[in-house]
Amino acid sequence: MTSTTQIDGRIVGDVAFRAGDGPQLKIPQGNVQILMADDSVVLTWTENGQSLTAAIPKIEFDRYIQEGAVVLGRG
């Protein structure tokens, strides 16, 4: 069974994800909802009035945190 945690966060630097086999797509700076599981993280944000979602590996998310590109909490 996988445990999940949902928290608020902000994208403040360069954060990207890959949609399928396509190119890396950038997540815009701003508020995100973060749903953390054991091995992956789902980011949800609003862009042009639409809710968008991206899943990234937990190890990649941890790197974004360490680099300061993602900040936990709302500011």
Q: Is 70 exceeded by the pLDDT of residue 2? A: no
Does any domain span residue 56? no
pLDDT digits (tens, 9 = 90+) for 17-61: 998 888 999 999 999 999 999 899 999 999 999 999 999 999 999
Which domain covers residue 16, as residue numbers?
Answer: 8-37+68-75
Does any domain span residue 27? yes
Is the pTM higher than 0.75? The answer reads yes
Does any domain span residue 52? no
Q: Which pLDDT score, from 0 to 100, does residue 34 have?
A: 97
Q: How many domains does the chain have?
A: 1
Does any domain span residue 53? no
Which one, of 18, 19, 15, lies nearest residue 31 by Cα? Answer: 15
Contacts of 12 (CB under 8 A, 6+ apart): 29, 68, 69, 70, 71
Does any domain span residue 18? yes
Does any domain span residue 59? no
Does any domain span residue 20? yes
